[in-house]
A and B are shown apart, each in its own frame.
Chain A
Amino acid sequence: MFKFNSIKTKLVLFNILLILLTVVIVIGIVIDLDRRSLSPVRGSSEALITTALQSEWEGKSKAITNLLSNRLVQPMHNFDIFEMKNIITLTMEEKDISYIYIHDEGGRILVAAVKGPEAKGAELMGEMLDDKLTKKAIAANEMLVQRNGDIVDVAASVMLGQKRLSIVRIGFSNKGIQHTITAMIKELTDGLDRAVTTAINNVLLAAIILGVPLIAVVLFLSNRLLSPIYGLINGTKKIAAGDLTYKIDVKSTDEIGQLANSFNSMTEDMHRYHLEKEKILKDMHDGIGGITTNIKLLSELAQNKESASAEIKESLKTISELSKEGLSEIRSFIYSLDAKETNWQALTAELRSFGSNMIAAHGTAFNMKADIDEDAGVHLSSLLYLNIFRTFKEAIANIIKHSHAKNVDVLFSVNRERVALCVKDDGIGIKEKERCKGRGITNMIMRARELGGQLTIASDKGTQIALEIPLPIKYLSS
């Protein structure tokens, strides 16, 4: 159905490439959109999420600290360390809390609770802390948020009216909220990635959905477009086969339609020319051929008259032979121009007939073998026909005149690679010097060269003349 070098295949491939190019461009646009437009969105969304969650988390941390400071007022007032310890132990159950310290004004830890496998709450009770965080927390008049690595330290005063009873500090680990932020950002990023992937998938799906009918449309249109061209191709084949009456059915008026019309006009002209040629050949055959035949017959009749002298009879005999040769020339010429007759079988028959007639008349045995490959499809032009025939004729004439041969063997073969004609006799042979003297041999060599081939002459127990023309024929430029 598809040939790589056909216009239809090229059209389909072109359209597939066009679709692929469109898909690639659209996907490129989507990816570029992701890179150019969505990247800032990702960035700002990440910042927004981080800020919002951090802010909410810090707000919650402050609220927990504030609530704890309020709950500690009464036990702090009673100096109920045990109760305070119970309260902060309960508060420690809140996730993200790493430690809770309750300081007195001097920075000493009244109560402490530390989360972990080896909680150090009791060990810290009664100890002084003088690190920067503690000093700032003690010095602060209001709630203070300090960052220390993964820990956010929130400090608040435990107030009874205007009197500050103690300072409570809660260390919140921000690992949890960071994990949440990371998870949310990942979810956002994944969502955007999914959207981009979905868009690309949709483009691919659309390409498939639209591509298949588009290819079908391309095939339909290309068939419509190429139909007249196929007509032209068929027409050329028919004309090449000799059918000059073939006409392409043209419906369109586009360039291909115009080409088809021109082709039809050309075919009509060729047909007309062919008819005229046929008429000329017929006239030549009936006119010149008839006259030459009459000359031959009249000269033969004149030879038989007793009143004619021997010299006149010899002249009449010459006239008769020349007439006969002339008839042969005319017939060969007509055959060569007659498209109906110019085929390998006709040429073979002509060679065999001529050879047999000419050689047998001189008491020499004539044997011809032909090996024609009809499937090779080698075209036999008029020029080739005439040159082969005339080469053969010259070879036969030389054998009759000079060889004294008793047997002549001819091999004529045609295949895809070459046309070969070999004429061999068992006569006296031909000397090297004599090869250059004769006009006939030179003509044969020239004819071979004209057809792009060569002629070889061998003399060994007779003479062998071989004409070999490689195919396709490369005519020698004049």
Chain B
Amino acid sequence: MRKTALFCLLLIFGLTLPELLYSKEFPKKKTLTIGRATDNVITQQKKIEPIITHLASRLKDIGVERGEVVLAGDNKVSNLIRLLKEGKIDILLESPLIATYLKSTGGATPILIAWRKGVGEYNSLIFVRKDSKINRVEDLKGKMIAFEDSGSNSGYFLPKIGMKAKGLELIQLSSFNSIVPKDKIGYVFAGSELNISSWVFYKKVAAGALSNLDWNTPEDVPEAYKKEFKIVYESQKMPEFIVLVRPGLDKRLVERIKEEFLKIDKSEEGKEAIKPYGFNKFVELQKDSLDFMTEIEKQLRISGEKFQ
């Protein structure tokens, strides 16, 4: 009986030893999660899921069995911070503005920059008609500007905090027919890039805000429009998407994640995984890659703008 009990103990020890040794090298992590804040959960789920599934399949050697997408609905960054702090999201794929906020508030660590549509960085533009008398954003007082929607970085947050940092006061209006107070800049959400450029072209609003990528897309800004526009403001250039990891994630696991992200565009499976989101590749952070964060933090501080 004793011999039998001893044999069983030895057997259990023998079977669990490799697992204990592995846990010593990599913390036990069977499900790897990725997330972001969004107001369109279904679309984002479809776009991100192939990426985390591919990544998980590449990390089986360290015990990862599957990948999951965890989204903070209603574009609530506060929820994202909470999920981050609870350790429910391991990897974050965010715009530079929220990435800055996650870094400063949530302790997330930026590890990579994503390239999309062939470029690695972008900025936000404010444009007006050439035949208007507006030459700088300060001239927009008493006039109206069209943003894309409340979740857009380049089409809303960046130009907004840029203007606020200049001491301008903005007020949201329900439509372009609304009356704008003379000392403020009224803004409306056009819902799409094409509407922003169209409203400016047809003088429904005085100005519009778009990313430089949208500015150069004829489907968003037709050539006939563009000939009539001029740019009165450009934000600092910054990456469009940044990959972050939650605080406390094992450094060796982070290295493996980085390693797989960096070579994701080298295989056909990897290319297929990043195709829905339109990513081209992921690159290492450069020395000045995160300089924009300082400027954004400053503008956020000055503008007093906060995320929900």
Contact = CB atoms under 8 A, between A and B. Distances in A.
Interface of A: 78-82, 85, 110, 122-127
A365 B225 CA distance: 148
Contacts of A110: 198, 202
A85 B194 contact: yes
Nearest to A127: B224
Nearest to B198: A81
B195 A125 contact: no
28 contacts: A78-B175, A79-B176, A79-B195, A79-B202, A79-B204, A80-B191, A80-B195, A81-B198, A82-B190, A82-B191, A82-B192, A82-B193, A82-B194, A82-B195, A82-B198, A85-B194, A110-B198, A110-B202, A122-B218, A122-B219, A122-B222, A122-B223, A123-B218, A124-B224, A125-B198, A125-B225, A126-B201, A126-B223
Interface in B189-236: 190-195, 198-199, 201-202, 204, 218-219, 222-225, 228
Contact of A123 (B193, B204, B223): B223
Contacts of B224: 123-127
Given A125-B225, A127-B224, A81 B195 contact: yes
Contacts of B223: 122-123, 126
Contact of A125 (B190, B191, B222): B222
A79 B198 contact: yes
A79 B199 contact: yes
Dominant secondary structure at the B interface: loop
A123 B204 CA distance: 21
A31 B204 CA distance: 73
Nearest to B222: A125
A125 B219 CA distance: 9
A79 B219 CA distance: 17
A78 B225 CA distance: 19
A79 B201 CA distance: 12
A79 B218 CA distance: 19
A122 B224 CA distance: 9
B195 A123 contact: no
B200 to A, nearest CB: 11
A78 B202 CA distance: 13
Question: Which 7 residue pairs across A and B have the least CB separation, nearest first?
Answer: A126-B224, A82-B192, A81-B198, A125-B222, A82-B194, A122-B218, A82-B195
Nearest to B204: A79
Contact of B222 (A78, A79, A80, A123): A123
Given A80-B195, A82-B192, A126 B218 contact: no
A85 B195 CA distance: 10
Interface residues of B, number: 20
B203 to A, nearest CB: 11
Given A81-B199, A122-B222, 13 more contacts: A79-B198, A80-B195, A81-B194, A82-B190, A85-B194, A110-B202, A124-B222, A124-B224, A125-B198, A126-B222, A126-B224, A126-B225, A127-B224
A80 to B, nearest CB: 6
A110 B223 CA distance: 13
Contacts of A123: 218, 222-224
Interface of B: 175-176, 190-195, 198-199, 201-202, 204, 218-219, 222-225, 228
A110 B201 CA distance: 10
A346 B245 CA distance: 148
A125 to B, nearest CB: 4
A436 B228 CA distance: 146
Nearest to B193: A82
Nearest to A75: B195
Contacts of B194: 81-82, 85
Contacts of A122: 218-219, 222-223
A135 B67 CA distance: 60
B213 to A, nearest CB: 16
Nearest to B220: A122
B115 to A, nearest CB: 25
A78 B228 CA distance: 22
Nearest to A123: B223
Nearest to A126: B224
Contacts of B219: 122
B147 to A, nearest CB: 14
A67 to B, nearest CB: 23
A163 B240 CA distance: 44
A322 to B, nearest CB: 146
Contacts of A82: 190-195, 198
Contacts of B190: 82
A15 B199 CA distance: 94
A126 B223 CA distance: 8
Nearest to A82: B192
Contacts of A81: 194-195, 198-199
A253 B120 CA distance: 123
A406 to B, nearest CB: 136
Nearest to B175: A78
A293 B143 CA distance: 174
A126 B225 CA distance: 6
Contacts of B175: 78
A246 B193 CA distance: 125
Contacts of B176: 79
Contacts of A78: 175
Contacts of B201: 126
A124 B224 CA distance: 8
Contacts of A126: 201, 222-225, 228
A248 to B, nearest CB: 109
Nearest to B221: A122
Nearest to A121: B219
Contacts of B195: 79-82
Nearest to A78: B175
A129 to B, nearest CB: 12
Contacts of A124: 222, 224
A85 B220 CA distance: 11
B178 to A, nearest CB: 13
A80 B223 CA distance: 19
Nearest to A85: B194
A457 B218 CA distance: 132
A82 B223 CA distance: 16
Contacts of B198: 79, 81-82, 110, 125
A80 B117 CA distance: 26
Nearest to A112: B222
Most-contacted residue by chain B among A81, A85, A123 (CB, 10 A): A81
Nearest to B190: A82
A126 B222 CA distance: 7
B176 to A, nearest CB: 7
A262 to B, nearest CB: 114
A82 B193 CA distance: 8
Most-contacted residue by chain B among A123, A124, A125 (CB, 10 A): A125
A81 B201 CA distance: 11
A377 B219 CA distance: 115
A112 to B, nearest CB: 9
Contacts of A127: 224
Contacts of B202: 79, 110
